Structure 1
Amino acid sequence: ITKFSNDLEILKNMYFTNMTLLMHLIIKILFVSISLFILDWQIAIITIFLLTMPLYIPKLVEKKLINAQNEYLSSIESNLNNISDWFTKFELIKMFSIEQKISTFFDRSNNNVYNAALKDKKMNNITNLLSALMSYFSHIIILLIAIYFVYKGVFTVGSFVVAVGMIDQLSYPIISISSSYQGLISVKEIASRINNDILEFKNRNINRERMLLKESITLKNLNFKYESQKELLTNLNFKFEKGKKYLIRGESGSGKTTLIDLLLNYQNANSGEIYYDDTLVNNINPFQFVTVIRQDTALLDDTIKNNITLYSEEYSNDDIVNVLNIVNLHKFANEENLNLNVGENGAKVSGGEGKRICIARALLRNSDILIFDEPLANLDKHNVDIIEDILLSLKDKTLIVVSHTFTESKLKEFDKILNI
């Protein structure tokens, strides 16, 4: 968000505006310089040499200019993160009456942005001041030399007047070039980041083709731990075979979700390997095989249809109605209700309905492997029963369910249970 709301605006003001001004100034400098050479080559060389001295100032403090600009942008990003976090936890803040504390944090975060902006402005203004002082000093020396040439008879008084006018015409553009060049230097890294993170994104080779699992996902001697924590997974060997149902159980913090992240190549194991058939997980895009449904309901502020198809045009309304019936959402399973809006974060549907819309989305995608990470969390008994029955009724899918609350009487319907 900061890249779009702030970085691009800074790039527009500091880079493109300065680039246009720079071209204008260079053309003017070339024109006046040529005229000055025609008048007298000696005074022309001296003038160009001395008046260009201020251009070296921004280069000498380039690192400080870049650091000040980056510090300012980082403070804005941090401030935006904080504000977003406080708004999403608004109920918690009110409930525990910590408004005053958060207000203090808010002031501190704003002050950090203010101080970083002030530091950035100071750095730019000091550089401008030094460049201007050097330019004025150079200008005075050139005038003294021109006066000396008149005294020695090298110059006529008329030539002196013309030369002074030309020198004045060169002085301002060169000072302005220094300021423009300074602006270009300060946003160099911003331009690079925007180019790499946004503009080049469309050129990345993203393979969206869905693939089939031929035999199994195999875990071999898998070990994993987070920094400064005890081992979560130790020498884990397991095989998820094609077309079978698996339940992963374990206490909170035992590593169930971490295992899923390893299967998706979000994390690298400390040692051991994960194979999709005969291919290491590091060498593939797991989403070619897998669809994941997480604990949190992921719904866009859009229609039921768009939330299920995610804007793909390869599915007909009949396909969507069919999956809605499979997940027991019969009241939405008609063309009129497909266009109902679910609201922000699914506010216009119940928790159980939102969860089942996500399951319908996964079923419609028709991936070979379905992973459900705590699908029963925060649901009442009625919805738990419905979703458990939906999962266990799935055919011809490799099903991996992460849950520590699955109904005991239904556990026998899983082919294997992996206890973490």
Structure 2
Amino acid sequence: MKQAVRQHKLLLTVTLLFSIITSAAGVLIALVLQKVIDAALQGDLGLFREILLLSLVYLLLLGVFGFIYSLSSKALIRNLTISLRERVFRGVFRQNAEAFSASNTADYLSALTNDIKLLEDHYIQPMLQVLQNIVVFAASLVVLLYLSPLVTAILVGCMVLMFAIPSLFGKALQTKQSAVSSQMSIFTSRLKDLLSGYEVIKSYAMGRYAEQTFKEENHRAANIRFAADRMFALNESVSHTLAILTQFAVVFIAAYLIITGNLSAGSLVALVQLSGGFVGPVLVIMENLPKIQGIKPVLERIDLLAEVNNEPITEGLTPVFNNSLEARNLQFKYTQGKPVIKDISLSLEKGKKYALVGPSGCGKSTLVKLLTGYYDSFDGIIELDGTDLKRLDREQLQQMVSTIHQNVYMFDSDIRHNICLHEEFPDEMLDRALQTSGIHKFLQHTPNGLLSPVGENGLQLSGGQRQRIAVARALIRNKPLLVLDEGTSAIDMQTAYEIESRLLKLEELTLITITHNMNEELLGLYDQIIYMEDGIIAEMGSLKELLERGDKFRSFYTLEKEEVPAAG
């Protein structure tokens, strides 16, 4: 939050300056009223006209300054919320993969929407109101002392009472506000889960369950917010009662002073006006201070998510891949649980093709993610052309690798954007990617060709069409290392065979394919098959060598081949 404020310190300074001017000028209206009433009671028409003229000029300036303050404060709130969202978003995306995966994406959504809104409503706006009303309070105190020290002393005594009682609500409000933020994060998570599972809910007739689940979460979130609102209501009602009591005291004491001849009628009006300007600011401060205190847990959460921005991004060495990618004694486990990768050592040569096979859950995808720099908290050594992966520039390393995932994510845009991903490519490169991936076969049936929308996460496309777009997305970039993570599993066998065989013929391309497809002809084209079991490399070699060896791979290969017809 502090960095966001420093980023807009000039606008903050302007806002505070005009806040002081308008607040102090508003208080001085009481003295204008005093002069007008005293002039009227004295029957001094000349003085009355003079005060009227000065009042018109005064009100005009007050209106101009008030407009500048209002505009600058709104601009400040806008800029701060923009900065906070950008800092949180950058912080989230600068996390490594493990840290990002440790939280539900709904938590990030809640932070960027609900929590930022809470900060705006319960921190930024209240803070500006508190600062403005401190000026009003100080100016009112000076004028009150000028008019009547006795009334001022009584008002100050009442103020102490007004501050003492509602301050008891501060800790309770902080607890309630923290509960609201936590529950809204849970609510967002549940809502995202239900909306993302729409097809499953429909397929298994879970509509009533979904409605009931949403109803319960909706009521729970609303009730927790209402519990916080009840505490705010109690705080506000006590504050208002004490404020009215204070104003009553001022009126009766001032009336007594007029009766005894120690105060003029104009001064009475000024004192009543100032008591509102004295009590009102205290009332606003008392209502807002618990909000500011209560929002601290949310503010800490926002700062925690954004704190990655405070760490300078260190530029590593430029990665070079001319010879090999090697791993030695590689071990890895997720935050909780047993090791997923256990003491693996292997060497992948540039330009060669590798098939990574093995039972589900044996660590194939994790191994590839480690080799390509996706995870960095591992034991052992990974080197690219003899340079430790941890010393390389992470962004440049990622730009050397293209990955075709099994579960393809589509951005809610058109086909072209989902292939190019905000980059520009020559038409011939795009055409080549369309032909190789097989997109050209269905493109002619779309309403607007490459500009046809794909819908949310490719909802308007079939699974095979989404997979082809993912293949084109990887091929168009012509990276030296390509990972095919079950990347053709949703395509018909003939197209999948065509795509994979074309990739295998690209001499400069280093290909790592994670596959369950035991097509003998395709597997025979790979330079080496890496067979994994339970986080270790059980066997390595060409298809011919592994089959002749007749060990673990052969058993797996035979079993998979037997299950293919049944699966079909």
TM-score w.r.t. the length of structure 2 is 0.62
- How do residues 256-267 of structure 1 correspond to structure 2 at under 5 angstroms? 256-267=364-375
Q: Output the amino acid matched with 2:159.
A: L
Match of 1:124 among 219, 232, 238: 232
- The corresponding residue for 2:262 is 156
Work out whether residues 325 and 348 of structure 2, in 8 Å CA contact, stay in contact via their aligned partners in 1: yes
Match of 1:287 among 383, 394, 398: 398
Q: 1:260, 1:125 → 2: CA distance? A: 56
Residue 390 of structure 1 pairs with residue 517 of structure 2: no
Post-superposition offset of 1:320: 0.8
Q: 1:136, 1:339 → 2: CA distance? A: 65
Post-superposition offset of 1:117: 0.8
- The corresponding residue for 1:243 is 351
Post-superposition offset of 1:399: 1.5
Work out whether residues 217 and 239 of structure 1, in 8 Å CA contact, stay in contact via their aligned partners in 2: yes
- The corresponding residue for 1:309 is 420
Structure 1 residue matching 2:453: 3-state secondary structure: coil
Q: 1:393, 1:57 → 2: CA distance? A: 80
Q: 1:77, 1:33 → 2: CA distance? A: 44
Match of 1:345 among 444, 447, 457: 457
Q: Output the amino acid matched with 2:426.
A: S
- How do residues 57-206 of structure 1 correspond to structure 2 at under 5 angstroms? 61-132=169-240, 156=262, 158=264, 161=268, 166-190=274-298, 205=313
User: What percentage of residue pairs aligned between the two structures are identical?
Assistant: 26
Match of 2:429 among 300, 316, 319: 319
Q: 2:170, 2:507 → 1: CA distance? A: 63
Structure 1 residues 416, 265: CA separation in 2 closer, same or farther (over 3 Å shift)?
A: same
Residue 380 of structure 1 pairs with residue 492 of structure 2: yes
Q: 1:346, 1:208 → 2: CA distance? A: 36
Q: 2:490, 2:422 → 1: CA distance? A: 28
Work out whether residues 376 and 384 of structure 1, in 8 Å CA contact, stay in contact via their aligned partners in 2: yes
Post-superposition offset of 1:46: 5.7
Structure 1 residues 281, 60: CA separation in 2 closer, same or farther (over 3 Å shift)?
A: farther
Q: 1:384, 1:360 → 2: CA distance? A: 13
Q: 2:458, 2:509 → 1: CA distance? A: 27
TM-score w.r.t. the length of structure 1 is 0.82
Q: Output the amino acid matched with 2:496.
A: V
Work out whether residues 352 and 383 of structure 1, in 8 Å CA contact, stay in contact via their aligned partners in 2: no
Post-superposition offset of 1:207: 7.5
Q: 1:50, 1:283 → 2: CA distance? A: 66
Q: Deviation per CA, 1:123-144, whole angstroms, max 9, x where unpaired? A: 3223334444565677788899
Q: Deviation per CA, 1:108-135, whole angstroms, max 9, x where unpaired? A: 2112211211122123223334444565
Q: How many residues align?
A: 414
Work out whether residues 18 and 180 of structure 1, in 8 Å CA contact, stay in contact via their aligned partners in 2: yes
Structure 1 residues 52, 246: CA separation in 2 closer, same or farther (over 3 Å shift)?
A: farther
Q: 1:357, 1:343 → 2: CA distance? A: 14
Post-superposition offset of 1:294: 1.0
Q: Which has the higher contact order (CA 8 A, sep 6+)?
A: 1
- The corresponding residue for 2:341 is 233
Greater gyration radius: 2
Post-superposition offset of 1:52: 4.9
Q: Deviation per CA, 1:200-229, whole angstroms, max 9, x where unpaired? A: 969975979995424332222122334664
More deviation in 171-180 or 2-11?
2-11
CA-atom RMSD in angstroms: 3.9
Structure 1 residues 32, 65: CA separation in 2 closer, same or farther (over 3 Å shift)?
A: same
Q: 2:382, 2:164 → 1: CA distance? A: 55
Structure 1 residue matching 2:139: 3-state secondary structure: helix
Work out whether residues 373 and 389 of structure 2, in 8 Å CA contact, stay in contact via their aligned partners in 1: no
Work out whether residues 144 and 271 of structure 2, in 8 Å CA contact, stay in contact via their aligned partners in 1: yes
Work out whether residues 327 and 371 of structure 2, in 8 Å CA contact, stay in contact via their aligned partners in 1: no
Q: Output the amino acid matched with 1:392.
A: L
Post-superposition offset of 1:24: 4.1
Residue 13 of structure 1 pairs with residue 139 of structure 2: no
Structure 1 residue matching 2:345: 3-state secondary structure: strand
Structure 1 residues 344, 107: CA separation in 2 closer, same or farther (over 3 Å shift)?
A: closer
Structure 1 residue matching 2:524: 3-state secondary structure: helix
Post-superposition offset of 1:340: 3.4
Structure 1 residues 289, 98: CA separation in 2 closer, same or farther (over 3 Å shift)?
A: same
Q: Output the amino acid matched with 2:403.
A: V
- The corresponding residue for 2:514 is 402
Q: 1:225, 1:110 → 2: CA distance? A: 37
Structure 1 residues 220, 134: CA separation in 2 closer, same or farther (over 3 Å shift)?
A: farther
- The corresponding residue for 1:254 is 362
Match of 1:296 among 407, 410, 427: 407
- The corresponding residue for 1:371 is 483
Structure 1 residues 101, 11: CA separation in 2 closer, same or farther (over 3 Å shift)?
A: same
Post-superposition offset of 1:287: 1.1
Post-superposition offset of 1:419: 1.5
